[in-house]
Amino acid sequence: MTIAIIAHDGKKAEMVGFIKDHTELFQKKSIQLIATGTTGSHLERANLQVEKMRSGPMGGDAQIASRLVEGEIDMVIFFRDPLGKHPHEVDVSMLMRLCDVHNIPLATNHAAALRFIQTL
């Protein structure tokens, strides 16, 4: 199973905390993590194995969306900052739309992500 991990700047600390709280699950060999560049760097500093794409504003969201369309991603956890301005909001919307089009589970906050991982 491949899980994409993304977090806006204002949510990166929360994302790292979430992943660390569930490290045992995310370190299983059957689970692969892929992340946008900056989020991936934060996860690496937390001693997690992650494949990093470019940062979101530099095309990382689009790279993850491409993998999703190719059937290579099974779930997306995207801690969005609904109160912040994001120059790449078009990419974020595209990724979320493609999750719907391809029927990929998408958690956009801590509570939804927790429910998703409880099913694993």
**Catalytic machinery residues:** 61
Cβ within 8 Å of residue 14, ≥6 positions away: 7, 79, 110
- 31 vs 59: CA distance, rounded Å: 24
- 82 vs 30: CA distance, rounded Å: 32
Q: Please give the C-alpha separations between residue 69 and each of 2, 65, 84, 101, 106, in angstroms, as whole numbers.
A: 13, 6, 27, 9, 14
